[in-house]
Chain A
Amino acid sequence: MIRLSGRFRSSLIIGGQGIRARKMRTFLSMISLFLGVLAVVTVQAGSVIAQRALLSDIEISQGKDGTLQMYLPSNPQAVPITMDLIQGREDVAGVTTGKAIIGEPGVKPINEGGGPLDGNGGAYRGPMMTCDASGQCRELEDPNEGAPSGQAIELSMKAVTGDILQFRPFRLESGDWLDSSSTPSLSPRIVLNTKAAEGFAKYKIPAEMRVEGALANTTPRIIGVVNDGSWGPAAYIRSDELLNWMPVDSLSDPRYGGSMELMLAPSTTADLQQTLKSRLTAAGMNPDELHVRTINSLKEMQSQLSLMRWIFLGMAALVLLIGVAGILNVGLATVGERIEEFALRRAVGTPRLLLAGIVLAETLLTGLLTAAAAIGFGAAALKAVSMVLGSREPFLQNVAFPWEAGVAGVLAGLIAGILGGLIPAIRAARIPIATVMRA
């Protein structure tokens, strides 16, 4: 152990002396390696940040991996049966999606059809349609026909039963999320998504809410804003608060929207699914339309991203290879130049292995120093990019330098040091003392 420690220390001391003695040469060999390691660090950091951003968006818009998802067909009985069954359960959440208009009463909304509010927004301007299970579609009467234009916004009204955040971790931008533990209020509390909030900020809308199928218009209380990853304006409301103002079967009304999405935790028993299917089938729904699918978007996305990451890492490895060639070139030249030093060291008792270790220690130290410089530069650059572009690109706000990129940089530096130093180390160990030291 002491012997090994002595050899290790010896190689580090002599390696350090070698680097100090040839600072400029070491610096020059570091330049190409720096670019190579920086390429690896950048690719790794970029892919990790992109993956985090993409996966986080996927989770909020599609749901966490493993979540069981079920879309109920449009049927007057579907929502009442389902809500009755899932009431009070913590492992299930349901969302019925309908339409609501918030703003001046009796006017055409600014974004008729519920499209995005920025610019023309690609809002749907055609007639409203509904389709039944057999695929037969028919035009619905326009509820706003003949109404004058005014200050109102049409949005998706999502009535929530249960804890949806456990399946879709919406990012709370401000205020609070819906508190399902309190008594349902007659003044419905709603949480806007960011698109709707932007619309409300832009157009000074009076807060009266018109929901298709509701018995009366209500005055909602906006309690928070979330990023739900959707492209159009939407508002979330407790279903029990909405049901204070509309009969439950209206939630299945095609004019309201009529669809319900059910999210179940992976641990949910098959009994619940079976009971639900049985009751819905008994209510006249086609059992073939009752599918439960498992969300695997994260896994699918990860495999696509990892393929891209490997392609980019391959390109970065090529750049790194140039850096390795640089170290190798300098290493071979240095061994040729230091042939007398190495022969002398062998003459005074330095074993061949240690001599190889000295050369490797120099290239490894060079590799690690370069890696440290590249990682530091990468982290600083990311910080600067985050500060400059963070306000425009939300995913860059307060983004931390991924540890995976640091590890990749250190590994790249180590590998480059070993690859670049191996051949010079072998050559140094093979230097014949007798030939070199002859008078």
Chain B
Amino acid sequence: MTPLISITGLTKTLKGQGEPRTILAGADLTLHSGESIAILGRSGSGKSTLLSLIGLFDRADGGQYLLNGNDITRIPERKAAALRSEEFGFVFQRFFLLKHLSAVQNVSMALVNGQGWLPRRKRKAKAMEALERVGIGHLAKHKPPRLSGGEQQRVAIARALVRDPKILLADEPTGALDTETGNLVVEALRSATDRGCGLILVTHDHDHAAKMGKVMQLTNGVFENSNQRVVV
């Protein structure tokens, strides 16, 4: 079966004013449908950079990136935007909700991105469905300042899920939450894999990582080992 994501020898070097700094020095990773992977690592180990390359926010300097078997290592930005819309859902540590929009509007904003068009009623229905999936349908009309951190992050997860992505990328989604709320958020993310979605979770929390099917340790831009465990 063709993996959703297959990464081989991915490298990334940041070139700024000073010396070039290698962030990724040959990362390998494979993600199948319904699979969940936790990436652990110290700050600066390259976790977020790897996630931004996988999510096509940026391009790798070397290596190969296959998405559904297609090489997208050097994909142009216009096609990358379409893939971000069709294939990926993103959850960030800071929720990035728009304060002037309600929860349901924040979710449906992912549907107003120029990649196809849905009428307003359908957008709202899909956004409501996504909010119900993460258990906060009753907060649909609330604006972000009136929501707790956990509720805001679940709105962000609903926004990531609303286009039914094949891959969910979460960059330290529990970093700004207490343990209990963090557990709820991780559970909401993990439950997406039950519907066949692949999940990559970048985290510092070993307990949250342990809930994923595979845990990978990134150190100085390379994966040290992989602890493959299937979550029953």
Contact = CB atoms under 8 A, between A and B. Distances in A.
B84 A341 contact: no
Contacts of A6: 114-117
A64 B52 CA distance: 74
A161 to B, nearest CB: 73
Which of A5, A21, A347, A350 lies at the interface centre, i.e. has the most chain B CB atoms within 10 A of its CB? A347
A311 interface: no
Interface residues of A, number: 32
Contacts of B49: 434
Interface stretch (A8-16, A116-124, A175-183, A187-195): A8-16
A2 B117 contact: yes
B109 interface: yes
A243 interface: no
Interface in A309-361: 340-341, 343-352, 354
B52 A349 contact: no
Interface in B148-172: 159, 163, 171-172
A439 B101 contact: no
A416 B124 CA distance: 35
A14 to B, nearest CB: 6
A25 interface: no
B182 interface: no
A170 to B, nearest CB: 61
A17 B100 contact: yes
A349 B48 contact: no
Interface size band for B: 35 or more
Contacts of A348: 84-85, 90, 109-110, 113, 159, 163
Interface in B32-82: 48-49, 52, 55, 57-58, 77-78, 81-82
Interface string B114-126: 1111000000000
B91 to A, nearest CB: 10
B183 interface: no
A439 B57 contact: no
Nearest to B116: A6
Contacts of B202: 439
Nearest to A5: B117
A343 B202 CA distance: 20
A7 interface: yes
A348 B98 CA distance: 14
Contacts of B116: 2-3, 6
Contacts of B58: 432-434
A384 interface: no
A20 B96 contact: no
Contacts of B48: 438-439
B93 interface: yes
A400 interface: no
A439 B114 contact: no
A123 B201 CA distance: 101
B208 interface: no
Given A17-B100, A344-B96, A433-B52, A349 B117 contact: no
B187 interface: no
B84 A9 contact: no
A437 B171 contact: yes
Nearest to B96: A344
A349 B84 contact: yes
Contacts of B92: 437, 439
B132 interface: no
A10 B114 contact: yes
B96 A350 contact: no
A351 B57 CA distance: 12
A13 B113 CA distance: 10
Given A20-B100, A340-B96, A437-B96, A350 B114 contact: yes
Nearest to B100: A21
Contact of A438 (B52, B77, B90): B52
Contacts of A340: 94, 96
Nearest to A2: B117
Contacts of B163: 348-349
A350 B100 contact: no
B86 interface: yes
Contacts of B117: 2, 5-6, 9-10
B96 to A, nearest CB: 5
A350 B81 contact: yes
A352 to B, nearest CB: 6
A10 B113 contact: yes
B113 A350 contact: yes
A350 B115 CA distance: 7
B135 interface: no
B147 interface: no
A47 B123 CA distance: 50
B3 interface: no
23 contacts: A2-B117, A3-B114, A6-B116, A6-B117, A11-B114, A13-B112, A21-B98, A341-B96, A344-B98, A348-B84, A349-B82, A349-B163, A350-B85, A351-B114, A352-B77, A352-B78, A432-B57, A433-B52, A433-B58, A434-B52, A439-B93, A439-B171, A439-B172
Interface of A: 2-3, 5-7, 9-11, 13-14, 17, 20-21, 340-341, 343-352, 354, 432-434, 437-439
Interface of B: 48-49, 52, 55, 57-58, 77-78, 81-86, 90, 92-94, 96, 98, 100-101, 109-110, 112-117, 159, 163, 171-172, 175, 202
A-B complex: 5 closest residue pairs judged by Cβ atoms: A349-B85, A6-B117, A21-B100, A439-B93, A434-B52
Given A348-B84, A351-B115, A434-B52, 9 more contacts: A2-B116, A17-B101, A347-B84, A348-B163, A349-B85, A349-B113, A351-B78, A437-B92, A439-B93
